[in-house]
Structure 1
Amino acid sequence: MTSVLTPRLRECLVHARDGLTAIQIGDAMGLSYRTVNQYLSDCYRRLGARNRTQAVSIAVRRGEIPIADEPKPPA
């Protein structure tokens, strides 16, 4: 299956999956609040989702983003 999300949109959606707010996502990605909201809206449109939760669910099901990040090995 071919990806409908760009790498940057996937990164934004991973942060959303992890429960970050738009402001926190912007801080993590070096983007403004408005740009994050535009990215999320683009994710919804591309995935056919109505909200953030549904977008994350569809993206995980399609293999666009992982269910969770890989655990880090012990130091």
Structure 2
Amino acid sequence: MNTLELKNILKFKIDRINDKKFLEALTILIESKTDPIMSLSNEQKNKLEESRNEYLLGNFENNNVVNEEMDKWLKE
């Protein structure tokens, strides 16, 4: 049995299934094989590595501090 024949058999069998929970589980399984995997450019990878290194060196601000600074800036 070739790939096309197998796909057609599966389509036929799926059309006959009425169990919503089973179909939802099958959808998750199929999506795990068909959803594209996000790929990053070299520039994006480099920026992520730079950000990681900055974080490891302690060069970051606490989210609360940043929010306070933004609130202050917006009020000016």
Q: Could you state the TM-score of these two structures normalised by the residue count of structure 2? A: 0.29
Higher RCO (CA 8 Å, separation ≥ 6 residues): 1
> Greater helix percent: which structure?
2
The TM-score with structure 1 as length reference comes to: 0.29
